[in-house]
Chains A and B, each alone.
Chain A
Amino acid sequence: MESQNAHPAAGYSSLKMQDAPASAVDGHSVTKRLQSELMQLMMSNVPGISAFPVSDSNLCQWTGTIAGPEGTPYEGLTYKISMTFPANYPYRAPVIRFVSPMWHPNVDMSGNICLDILKEKWSAIYNVQTILLSLQSLLGEPNNASPLNAQAADQWDNNKAEYKKSLMAHYKDIEELADE
C-alpha cells in the first residue's frame, strides 16, 4: 500500500526543509532514545558488558562494565566506565572514560580513551552496545601507532609479561572503587 493515506495532520503536510529539526536541542528525544537503548540492553543481555543510568533523575549519565576478553591480558578482569551523553546524542558521541585505573596503550592515566569511533569516526547509528563492544575489542587489539600510554604500547609489543605485571599493579577490583 502506498503512503498517501490521510492522517490527522493531513492538512498540514506540505514539507518545508527548513522545518527539519536541525538545530533543536531536544532533551526529550535523547531521553526517549536512551530509554529504548536501556530496554534493548536489558533484553539482549550480551555477556561481558553492562550499562545503566546512574540515577532515575538523570538519564544522560550512565555507568557500565566491560569484562576483559578471553585470551587477552585482561581475561578475568572487569572494568568500570562512565558514559556522559550530550543533549544532542546520538548526533554527537558520548564522553566515555574508564573509572577503573587502566593500563592500556590507548587509555591515559585519567581514564581518557583514544578511539576513533568516539571521535572523528563517530556515527549517529552507534549506540551504547556498539560502544561497549568496541571498547571490549580495543582491550585485546590496541592501536599502538598513536598511543596515549607509550610505555604500555612498548610493553605490549616487546614484553607481554611486563605488560601483565603493570596491568595488575594498576588494577582495582570493581568493588573497591569509590562510587563516583
Chain B
Amino acid sequence: MKVTIDKWIGVSTWHWNHAQDEVCGICRVAFDGTCPTCKYPGDDCPLIIGECKHAFHMHCLLKWLTTESSKGLCPMCRRRFKTATE
C-alpha cells in the first residue's frame, strides 16, 4: 500500500523541568499553567527559582516582592530571595 500525506498538523507538549506536578505557592496554580494575570503558559509566564530552591511563577514572585510585607523575603522560607544562578 502506498500512502501519500497531503497535510499534517504538528502537536507537541511541553512542561517546565522543575517539578511538573507542583503548584505555585502564591497563586496555587500548577507551574505548567499560568499565573492569574497571564494567558499563555511557557515563555511568557516563566518560573523563577531562588537560591533556597523555592520556585514560583516569576510574575507572582515579583508582585510579592513589591509589597511592603514581603521585605524582600522568600514567601516559603523567609530567607532573602535571590535568584539561583545555574
A residues with CB within 8 A of B: 1-10, 12-13, 15, 17, 20-24, 26, 28-29, 32-33, 36-37, 40, 88, 90-93, 120, 122-125, 127
Bound form: Cα–Cα A113–B18 in Å: 39
Bound form: Cα–Cα A44–B17 in Å: 29
B85 within 8 A of A: no
B55 within 8 A of A: no
Residue of A22, A33, A124 most packed against chain B (CB within 10 A) = A124
The DSSP consensus for interface residues of chain B is loop
Interface residues of B in 2-17 (CB under 8 A from A): 12-17
Q: Are B17's CB and A13's CB within 8 A?
A: no
Task: Count residues of B near A (Cβ-Cβ below 8 Å).
Answer: 34
Q: Are B39's CB and A17's CB within 8 A?
A: no
List 6 other contacts, CB 8 Å, given A3-B15, A123-B76, A124-B67: A3-B14, A40-B28, A90-B26, A91-B67, A120-B69, A124-B26
B residues with CB within 8 A of A: 12-17, 25-29, 35-37, 39-44, 46, 58-60, 62-64, 66-67, 69-70, 75-76, 78
The DSSP consensus for interface residues of chain A is loop
Q: Are A21's CB and B59's CB within 8 A?
A: yes
Q: Are A125's CB and B36's CB within 8 A?
A: no
Which residue of A4, A8, A123, A127 contacts B14 across the interface (Cβ within 8 Å)? A4
Q: Are A15's CB and B67's CB within 8 A?
A: no
Q: Can you report 25 residue pairs joining A to B where beta carbons are below 8 Å apart?
A: A1-B13, A1-B14, A1-B15, A3-B43, A5-B14, A7-B40, A7-B41, A7-B44, A13-B42, A15-B44, A17-B62, A20-B63, A22-B62, A22-B66, A24-B37, A26-B36, A29-B36, A32-B36, A33-B36, A37-B28, A91-B63, A123-B75, A124-B64, A124-B75, A125-B26
